[in-house]
Amino acid sequence: MSTPHNAANKGDIAPVVLMPGDPLRAKYVAEHYLEGVTCFNQVRNMFGYTGTYKGHDVSVMGSGMGMPSIAIYSYELYHFYDVDAIIRIGSAGGLAPQVHLRDLVIGQGACTDSNFAAQYGLPGTIAPIADFGLLRAAVEAAEKVGVPYHVGNLLSSDVFYCKRSASEAWAGMGVLAVEMEAAALYLNAIAAGKRALGIMTVSDLVLADGSLSADERQNTFTQMMEVALETAISA
């Protein structure tokens, strides 16, 4: 069964999917870490692959940028392809002073300035949170790999070019880093009774100097990839 956005058939996609925003990062993971790889999707150049990692079936697929895009792909994976868990692997802008370039930020929760949750008609504000089993496995994997990591709140924003005062306000509330997808992924997972986690590499510092190039973002986030793969096969 295919969808308007995914050419895969039932059974083509593993129960656990790594989901970078950049489809070329999905291609990199497939080519450098997975064995016996097959490509299950090329629709809209949103590449998706399934292979094995240390003998376990794992898939990796791009999500595109922003909450509307990851919401479409993750919804279809959860509801139409029997996917149990999605681990977002992406870049983020560091907000907290203790967060440095190339550090990992593991999203325990995802604050947002989006109206995405309005669709649920809740009589209040929901706090989108990650699956604890995935979170615990990711922390253990990060310690094993030896990469600096932080656990806490992300900000999933609809705005890339925002005022400095807005970033300072979120940082003042202890938010570690800003990205654009995790809150929608977490909400889709919660609504579907499935699991989700965001593991981000800090690619730039929003309130200080420092950034990585587009090529570095695409091809050198290897520690994040390794932590996510170890999480995928252990949780």
- Which of these CATH numbers, 3.40.50.1580, 2.40.160.20, 3.20.20.140, 3.20.20.70, describes 16-234? 3.40.50.1580
* Number of residues that make up the chain: 235
**pLDDT grade, residue 220 (50/70/90)?**
low
Closest CA to 202 of 228, 232, 176: 176
pLDDT exceeds 80 at position 215? no
Residue of 57, 84, 158, 204 marked catalytic? 204
The pLDDT assigned to 166 comes to 95
Asked about 204 being catalytic, the answer comes back as yes
Ordered by start, the domain boundaries in the chain are: 16-234
User: Taking CA 146 as the corner, what is the angle to CA 180 and CA 90, rounded to the nearest 5 degrees?
Assistant: 15
pLDDT tens-place string over residues 161-204: 999 999 999 999 999 999 999 999 999 999 999 999 999 999 99
Q: Within the chain, what is the greatest distance between any pair of CA atoms?
A: 48
User: Please, are residues 91 and 63 in contact by the beta-carbon 8 Å criterion?
Assistant: no
pLDDT exceeds 70 at position 112? yes
β-bridge pairing 85-94 and 104-112: unpaired
User: What's the CA gap between 102 and 221, in Å, rounded?
Assistant: 8
Enter the pTM of the model.
Answer: 0.96
